[in-house]
A and B are shown apart, each in its own frame.
Chain A
């Protein structure tokens, strides 16, 4: 499974991380090394083995449907990069 800088850029875009040409090159080498490590898995026969997402075999606990929260806008927006009239501001969203 060999990567190209094009792959790196595609992934970086999916992850919303800007990468320069130079960075893409370096990143490519590092990622290829890590993927090489990961490839060891392919040698293992896992047919019929149930994937394991959680270490304990427990199921989801359910919350009773009550409103427990009150307005904390001021506190929470005191650390926001840009707000106006209680709204978080971002560059225009285009639909």
Chain B
């Protein structure tokens, strides 16, 4: 299998953060009673017409700027014609030849590696409704509340070479659209859905293999599983002498398998043509500039700022800018702490995120606020407590037992840094362990560590380890 290479491209449908639909004044709020948010335009009554939502266009421009893409001064809406009960007009209004956002790029981090994924285009379009099964037997029920919800479809080049890369890209994009506030990123509600094009080829082959498209993946875990299964399936099929038919497939989370959609079997002929009900969308340079001026600092820029200003590693910097919330939390912590960034970074990426994962919490809801965390880090920096003690204090803070200082007092966790006191402890330890002293003198380095351990134990862990080391060395005359 190792001589095979998988080639992956993504098409992501992001639901835009607007109040009303892309072509009508109906609400897009999630979870309303069926068809209570579907007006005459949304259900395509005779004679009704679309009018474009300004905010949807602004969202598209924000995205274009965020991935450093060209934004079309003139783009065109086209009709994609096909019959489906959840598509009221019998066509979807989308963009075809002239999309609003052109070529761009998004850099992802896979382990220690950075990789740039090329974005082919992003275009505005309307969402379809939903088909509910198991209404009456043999029937489907159609809910058109979602019909006309504004979407930005973001298409990449086939630049990914593993499920891990695909998921890394999807996560990065998911973070970005929330970072620039064009999408709520709610995958359960379908606000962020990925179609994944997967093909395989022999390593070194120039030509791409026939691809199959896995539709509507709305969880990163499923995406990983689906791509891995699909890749295995394609390789096995080819190795067994079979060939891959281009197809649209669905992933079944229960079986972990993909299967071709029956409804899409017949080759589609979408008969795209410019929608005569809509005029060309013009976007002026002034408009783009005014939106650019409102853009927040982007993760990439913030990342390099962290690397330079705080001399953090690329890895740390990208972890800290993975999402707006993490970045905000780190910045706030560092501000309150005012000390070495690396120390704050370690705690945000270490202790805090570990606990969050454990409890499946978002950093925004962390029981330990940046201010509280900073209070803890201060005490580590000024040697009041050892990092070992710090963990204990952190746990207590997480449990809501108060500020670092309150907990340190309550638990009497202060380090002993008085060298006189430490010297007495060391002397006692040396006197009590002549054998170890002999072993050390005989050249057994381990013995030294054992003595340190004894000293720490004798101080109930409160002695400053660095000082213990130093004093022991001196006393043993080494």
Residues of A bordering B, CB below 8 Å: 14, 16, 53-54, 58-69, 71-73, 76-77, 84-95
Does B52 sit within 8 A of A, measured CB to CB? yes
| Pairwise interchain contact A63-B52, C-beta atoms closer than 8 A | yes
B18/A65 in contact, CB under 8 A: yes
Can you list 22 pairs linking A and B with CB atoms under 8 Å apart? A14-B269, A16-B83, A53-B274, A59-B74, A60-B280, A60-B281, A61-B279, A64-B54, A69-B27, A73-B35, A73-B36, A73-B38, A84-B135, A85-B135, A86-B35, A88-B35, A88-B142, A92-B139, A92-B140, A93-B131, A93-B140, A95-B263
The residues of A that contact B133 with a CB separation of less than 8 Å are 92-93
Q: Does B19 belong to the interface (CB within 8 Å)?
A: yes
CB of A26, distance to nearest CB on chain B (Å): 24
Q: Give the distance in Å from the alpha carbon of A53 to the alpha carbon of B141 in the complex.
A: 37
Bound CA span A33–B119, Å: 47
Q: B35 to A90, Cβ gap below 8 A?
A: no
CA distance A70 to B403 in the complex (A): 51
Chain A residues with CB under 8 A of B250: 95
Give Cα A89–Cα B134 distance, bound, in whole angstroms: 11
Give complex CA distance A9, B11 in Å.
33
- Tell whether, in the assembled complex, residue A69 and residue B281 are in contact, meaning their CB atoms are under 8 Å apart: no
Q: Is the CB of B35 within 8 A of A77?
A: yes
| Whole-angstrom CA separation of A54 from B139 in the bound complex | 42
Partner of A72, one of B19, B39, B278: B39
> Looking at the complex, which one of B19, B85, B143, B261 makes contact with A67 (CB distance below 8 Å)?
B19
Given contacts A62-B53, A69-B25, A93-B131, contact A88 B144 (CB under 8 A): yes
| Smallest CB gap from B57: residue in A | A62
By a CB distance below 8 angstroms, the chain B residues around A86 are 33-36, 143
Chain A residues with CB below 8 A from B25, complex form: 63, 66-69
- Chain A nearest CB from B128 CB (Å) reads 12
Closest to B33 in A: A86
> Closest A-chain residue to B82, C-beta based?
A14
B252-269 residues at the A interface, CB under 8 angstroms: 261-263, 269
Residue of A nearest to B281 (CB): A60
User: From B130, which residue of chain A is reached at the shortest CB distance?
Assistant: A87
The interface residues of chain B lying within 8 Å CB-to-CB of A89 are 135-136, 139-142
B126 CB to closest chain A CB (Å) equals 14
Q: Bound complex: CA of A16 vs CA of B282, how far in Å?
A: 35
- Contact (Cβ within 8 A) B53 A65: yes
- Which chain A residue lies CB-closest to B42? A69
* Cα-based distance from A60 to B271 in the complex (angstroms): 23
Cα distance A95–B85 in the bound complex, in angstroms: 12
* Beta-carbon contact of A95 and B278 below 8 Å: no
**Residues of B in contact with A, size category:** 35 or more
When distances are taken between beta carbons in the complex, the residues of chain A under 8 Å from B86 are 93
The answer to whether the Cβ of B138 comes within 8 Å of any Cβ in the partner chain is yes
Q: How far is the CB of B297 from chain A (nearest CB, A)?
A: 25
CB nearest neighbor in A for B27:
A67
Task: Specify which chain A residues have a CB less than 8 angstroms from the CB of B469 in the assembled complex.
Answer: none
Indicate if the CB atoms of B20 and A66 lie closer than 8 Å.
Answer: yes
Which residue of A53, A59, A72, A85 contacts B276 across the interface (Cβ within 8 Å)?
A: A53
What are the nearest 4 A-B pairs in CB distance?
Answer: A87-B141, A68-B25, A65-B55, A62-B54
Residues of B within 8 A of A93 (CB): 84-86, 131, 133, 140, 263
**B381 CB-CB contact with A under 8 Å:** no
Contact B51 A71 (CB under 8 A): no
B142 and A87 contacting across the interface, CB-CB below 8 Å: yes
Task: Give the distance in Å from the alpha carbon of A12 to the alpha carbon of B271 in the complex.
Answer: 14
Docked CA distance A53–B282 (Å): 15
Residues of B within 8 A of A90 (CB): 85, 131, 139-140, 142
Any chain A CB within 8 A of the CB of B333? no
Known: A59-B281, A63-B54, A85-B141. A69 touches B24 (CB 8 A): yes
B residues less than 8 Å from A68 (CB atoms):
20, 25
User: Interface digits, B240-256 against A, CB 8 Å rule (1 contact, 0 not)?
Assistant: 00000000001000000
CB pair B34 A91 closer than 8 Å: no
Do B135 and A60 touch across chains, with their CB atoms under 8 A apart?
no
Are B281 and A95 within 8 A (Cβ)? no
Q: Is the CB of B138 within 8 A of A92?
A: yes
Distance in angstroms between the alpha carbons of A11 and B19 in the assembled complex: 40
- Bound state CA distance, A76 and B40, in angstroms? 8
Q: Which residue of A lies closest to B250 (CB)?
A: A95
Q: State the CA gap A87–B45 with chains docked (Å).
A: 16
**Cα distance A92–B132 when bound, in Å?**
9
A60 touches B282 (CB 8 A): yes
Q: How far is the CA of A59 from the CA of B77 in the complex (A)?
A: 12
In angstroms, Cα B133 to Cα A14, docked, is 25
* A92 CA to B262 CA, complexed, in Å: 13
Which residues 26-72 of B sit at the A interface, judged by CB distance below 8 A?
Answer: 26-27, 33-40, 43, 45, 51-57
Please name all residues of chain A whose beta carbon is closer than 8 Å to the beta carbon of B36 when the two chains form the complex. 71, 73, 86
CA distance A73 to B28 in the complex (A): 15
CB distance from B290 to the nearest CB of A (A): 14
| Smallest beta-carbon distance A8→chain B, Å | 15
CB < 8 Å: which of B141, B263, B282 contacts A84? B141
Residues of A contacting B35 with CB < 8 Å? Answer: 73, 76-77, 86-88
Residues of A within 8 A of B143 (CB): 86-87
CB contacts (< 8 Å) of B131 on chain A: these are 90, 93
